[in-house]
Structure formats: C-alpha cells, structure tokens
C-alpha cells in the first residue's frame, strides 16, 4: 500500500515578519511537521518568496553548503543550500548575486548563542522577472494586511497566541506594507514618466501597456485593506 503525504502550502510572507519569528508549534502527532508562528499569527512550514539574491557564500570545510541572503521590500531572508537539496543546489550554482530569484523553502527556527533566528532551507530556486516580483509583493501585502485585521479582531487562536508571545506592534507591520507597496508603485510611476517623455512611441503600443497596468490595479485593490 502506498502512503501519500500531503505537502505543506508554501505561504507568502515578507522578510520583516518571518525573520522576527522565534516561536514554533507542533501538533500532537509524532510525525507532525514543526510550524513557525510569526508575529502576525501565520503558522507556516514552507514559504514562497521572490527577492534579490545579494549573497551566495560557501560554508563548510569542502564548501558544499551555500549561505544565501535574499532581500525583499522589507528586509532579508537567510538560508542554507546543501548538496542534499540537489535541485536548489544545482540551480544556485548558475545564478549570480544581484539576480532576482524565486524560491520555495522550508522554514526553521534555530537557537544560537545570541538568541533564536530563522533560516530557510530552499527546495527550489529559479530566476524571476520584475513583473512576477511586483505581483508577489502585492499578493503578500494583501495577505499580510488580512493577518493584521485578524490580529485586531483577536478571534483566531493563532492570532491571540502571536499577540501573547510577541506583543506585536501592528502599526510597525502596517507601515512596512505601505512602504513595500509604495516602492512597487514608484517603479510603475517611473515607467509612466518615461513613456510620456518618449514622443516617438507609437500610440497603439502605449495603449496596450496602459491597459496592462490598469488591469493589475483592478486585480489588486488595497484601498480598503489599508484603511485604519
């Protein structure tokens, strides 16, 4: 008889929220995975992130483990990729620093000499494009704001536990979301200015690009969620 194990959902979370996490949860079952509880009450075992690979350094006597740092709009994630993660390891060998990457990873909390800290154990890494990164930022912003609202309500068990453990400053995370969204919108604003200054662009091409930007804005409406 073949046993099928359900894979944990890869959650979208900003670096600021995940890297401030120190608390772990485990169900009563012996084989249950360990979850990280974030300051906004997210219970996660795997994450999906998109950011810039800013560090790729070898660790270990034989250099068989890469220490990586991936930066998003709010901070940086730190992870380790070894040969026992062949798909991620082989992909990483061909990716230079300062490249935009997308990765799925397991999340772990370790306790060191100076305290607890979160690291990622990537399962897959691939090169990403700016449009995917921007969409990830907006999706992650929405999910972060939804968690903030759940924290304010205090009805969910994980939200109450997170507030008890971290005494979370919700305004701090609201501001982080606002700044992340503002950076993405600034990029689109710069594109708009460049388009206006380029007089030789054919009118038809401009209309197509304008429709694409409008579509993105309609898909993700953050107005209500950002209201205090």
Q: Dump pLDDT digits (tens) for 75-115.
A: 999 999 998 899 999 999 999 999 999 999 999 998 877 88
d(CA 150, CA 173): 13
CB atoms within 10 A of CB 224: 7
> What's the rounded Cα separation, in Å, for the pair 148 and 51?
23
Q: How far is CA 57 from CA 60, 79, 106, in A?
A: 10, 11, 20
What are the structural domain ranges in the chain?
11-185
Distance between CA 59 and CA 57 in Å, rounded?
A: 7
pLDDT of 51 strictly over 90 = yes
Relative orientation angle of helices 203-219 and 130-153, to the nearest 10 degrees:
20
203-221 pLDDT per residue, tens: 444 343 444 433 344 444 5
For residues 49 and 105, give the distance between their C-alpha atoms in angstroms, rounded to a whole number.
8
Hey, is 163 helix, strand or coil? helix
Contact criterion met (CB below 8 Å) for 81 and 92: yes
pLDDT tens readout for residues 127-153: 999 999 999 999 999 999 999 999 999
136: burial class by Cβ within 10 Å (0-12, 13-18, 19+)? buried
pLDDT of residue 192 exceeding 90: no
CATH fold of the domain at 11-185: OB fold (Dihydrolipoamide Acetyltransferase, E2P) (2.40.50)
Cut 0.75: pTM above it:
yes
66: CB partners within 8 A, 6+ apart? 56, 57, 58, 59, 80, 81, 82, 89, 92
Confidence of residue 168 (pLDDT cuts 50, 70, 90): very high
């Amino acid at each position: 008889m073949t046993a099928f194990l359900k894979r944990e959902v890869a959650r979208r979370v900003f670096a600021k929220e995940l890297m401030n996490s120190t608390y772990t949860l485990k169900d009563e079952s012996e084989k249950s995975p360990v979850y990280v509880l974030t300051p906004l009450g997210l219970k996660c075992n795997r994450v999906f992130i998109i950011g810039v690979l800013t560090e790729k350094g070898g660790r270990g006597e034989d250099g068989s483990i890469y220490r990586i740092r991936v930066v998003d709009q709010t901070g940086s994630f730190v992870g380790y990729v070894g040969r026992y993660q062949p798909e991620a390891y082989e992909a990483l060998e061909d990716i230079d620093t300062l490249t935009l990457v997308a990765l799925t990873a397991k999340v772990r909390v370790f306790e060191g000499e100076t305290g607890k800290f979160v690291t990622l154990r990537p399962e897959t890494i691939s090169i990403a494009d700016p449009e995917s990164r921007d969409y990830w930022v907006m999706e992650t912003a929405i999910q972060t704001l939804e968690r903030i609202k759940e924290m304010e309500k205090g009805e969910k068990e994980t939200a109450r536990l997170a507030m008890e453990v971290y005494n979370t400053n919700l305004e701090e995370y609201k501001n982080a979301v606002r700044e992340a969204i503002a950076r993405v919108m600034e990029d689109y604003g710069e594109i708009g200015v460049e388009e206006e200054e380029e007089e030789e662009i054919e009118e038809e091409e401009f209309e197509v690009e304008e429709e694409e930007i409008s579509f993105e804005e309609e898909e993700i409406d953050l107005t209500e969620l950002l209201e205090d």
